[in-house]
Amino acid sequence: MLSQFRVLQQITEVVNLPRYCPRCGEPLHSDPGTTKGEVRKTARRAYEPKPKAKPKRKASAYSKRYGKAFKKLAPKYKKKNGQWKKDGFKRCGAAARKEAKK
């Protein structure tokens, strides 16, 4: 890791700094405030391996029951125009939890 950084550091100092990010293609020198260090960080990030995405967690049986109950009960706690009645969301959630517990 450190040796890669030193290599990139030497490359950016010897050769002209890159004009575009190798990963996303954004121009690096479009604004005059881009520093040599920022360019170096961007170049280093482009060559680092991407972190693995965490696998999505499976929905529990309870959360599925709660979701179905909430959708079923929601119209009772909504106005005709689709907005929630006063404290409707809270009361609908409570009723859905009660329903899902059964």
Domain boundary assignment for the chain: 2-47, 61-101
Q: Residue 78 carries which side chain, given as an amino acid letter?
A: K
Q: What is each CA distance from 23 to 2, 26, 39, 46, 79, in whole angstroms?
A: 20, 8, 13, 5, 49
What's the pLDDT score for residue 38?
A: 73
24-54: pLDDT as tens digits: 766 666 555 666 777 777 777 777 777 788 8
93 contacts: CB under 8 Å, gap ≥ 6: 70
- The strand pairing partners of 84, in sequence order, are 78
pTM, two decimals, is 0.48
Q: What pLDDT does residue 88 have?
A: 95
Say if residues 46 and 22 touch (Cβ distance below 8 Å): yes
User: Within 13 Å and on the Cβ side, how many CA atoms surround 27?
Assistant: 5
Structure tokens that stand for 10 in this block: 């030497």
Question: If you average pLDDT over residues 71-78, what whole number do you get?
Answer: 96
Residue 63 confidence (pLDDT): 95
Q: Which residue has the higher pLDDT, 9 or 60?
A: 60
